[in-house]
Amino acid sequence: MTLTEPAGAAPAEETRRQRTQRTRSRSPMKRGMYPFILTFLLPPVGIYALYMLSPYIQAIYISFTDWSGLTTDFNVIGFDNYVELWNDDQIWTALRNNLILLVFAPVLTLLLGLFFASMLNVGGKRRGVAVQGVRGSSIYRIVYFFPQVLSVVIVGIVFKYVFAPESAGGILNSLFSFIGLDGLTQLWLGEPSYLIWIVLLVMTWSFVGFYVVLFSAAMQSIPKEIYEAALLDGSTRFTTFRRVTLPLVWDTVQVGWVYMAIQAMDGFAFVHIMLGVHGGVDGAGDVLGVAIYREAFSNNDFGYASSIGVLMLVLTMTIAVLFMRIMRRERVELA
C-alpha cells in the first residue's frame, strides 16, 4: 500500500527510513535496502497505477455520467446508464453471445488442443516404443501453430471471405458448388442465428494452435518412464490419457481455461472485422466489446459505453475467480 504513495508523503518515508536505520544499523548491507528496493519498485507500480488502475477507476466514474466523449462538460446522472443497460435488448443479445462464447470456446479449444497435443506427443503407437507422437507429428506441430502467427485482423478478413456469398468470393460456398453440393451453399453471414457460431468457429480455429503448443510443452515435461509404467500396467492409450496425462497437465489446462475464457469475454476483433460495428445482421452477432466501441465512437455516448465496460469488468473478474475456485486441485509435482 505504501509503495504507491506519491512523493508528497515524504514525512512517512522519512520516519520509516529512520526506523529502518535504527533497527538494522548493525548490518551495513541492509541499511540502504528499503530506499534501494523502492527505487526499483516505485516506477513500475507508478506506471501501472497511472495507465492501468486509474483508467478503470475513471471508467467507473464516467459510467455514472452522460459524457459524450466529445465535450468538456457532462452531468452525473447516477445509475441511469445501468438502468438503460438493463432495458437494452441489444446488450442482452451481446451478453448472451459472450456467454455462448464463454461456455463453448474454452471447451472446444481446450478439448481440441488437448487432443492434438496428445496425438503429437504421446498418441503414436509403434511397436517397442512407449511414448511418441503420431507419424509426421513434427509437421503437424508447425501447421497447428500457423494461425497463431497470423494477426487476428488477418484471420477475421480471411474468414469474412470464407463465409461470403459466392459472388463476393465466398470460399466455402465456391467449394460446395465445386464438389457438387450446391444445396449446402448459404448466405452464411446473412443468417442471424449462425453468426455467433461462425465467430466461435473462427475463434477456436485461431487459438487451438496456441494450446497445442502449450499442452505439448506440459506433456513433454512428464517423464517417459511414467508412460512406460502405465503401459506395463496395462493402460490403453485412452486410459493413459485420462488417468495419467490429463491429471499431470491439469495445471496448464486450468491456466489455459482462464485465458481462453477471457478471450471469449472479449471477441471484439473477430466480430468487428467479420460482422461490422453493428454485430452483423440484426445485431445478432454482437458482443459486449463491440457494443462498447459502438456506443463510444459511433453513438458518442462514453457514459453508456463505460457502463458496459464496467459490466464486462465485473463479469470477467467473477468468472476468473469462479474458475480458479472450481478448478483448483492439489498441485501435482513431478517427483
Interface positions with another protein (CB under 8 A): 127-130, 223, 225-226, 228-235, 239, 243-244, 247-248, 250, 330, 332-335
Query: 3-state DSSP call for residue 129?
Result: strand
Residue 123 beta carbon to another protein: minimum distance, rounded to whole angstroms: 16
CA distance 26 to 332: 43
Residue from 61, 108, 91, 7 nearest 312 by CA: 91
User: Smallest distance from the beta carbon of 233 to another protein, in angstroms?
Assistant: 4
> Amino acid letter at 9?
A
Considering beta carbons, is residue 85 or 117 the nearer one to another protein? 117
Query: What minimum distance in Å lies between the beta carbon of 252 and another protein?
Result: 13
Instruction: Provide, for the chain, the percentages of residues in helix, strand and coil under a 3-state DSSP scheme, each rounded to the nearest 5.
Output: 75, 0, 25
Residue 126 or residue 325: which is nearer to another protein going by CB? 126
CB of 241 to another protein, least distance (A): 13
Rounded to a whole number of angstroms, the minimum distance from the CB of residue 62 to another protein is 48
**Distance between CA atoms of residues 276 and 168, nearest Å:** 16
Nearer to another protein, 246 or 319 (CB): 246
Reference 289, options 268, 310, 311, 274; nearest CA is 268
Contact between residue 59 and residue 310 where contact means Cβ atoms under 8 Å apart = yes
- Secondary structure class of 76 (helix, strand, coil): strand
Give SS3 for 95.
Answer: helix
Cα–chain-centroid distance for residue 173? Answer: 31
Tally of helices (H runs) and strands (E runs) in the chain: 17, 0
Using the minimum distance from each CB to another protein, give the nearer residue, 94 or 230.
Answer: 230
Nearer to another protein, 19 or 224 (CB): 224
Helix (H, G, I), strand (E, B) or coil at 126: strand
User: Please, what is the minimum distance in Å from the beta carbon of residue 224 to another protein?
Assistant: 9
- 123 or 156: CB nearest another protein: 123
CA-based angle 277:278:281, to the nearest 5? 130
For another protein, give the closer residue by CB, 236 or 318. 236
Task: Record the cell numbers describing residue 324, joined without a space.
Answer: 480458479
CB of 327 to another protein, least distance (A): 15
Alpha-carbon gap, residue 305 to 62, rounded angstroms:
9
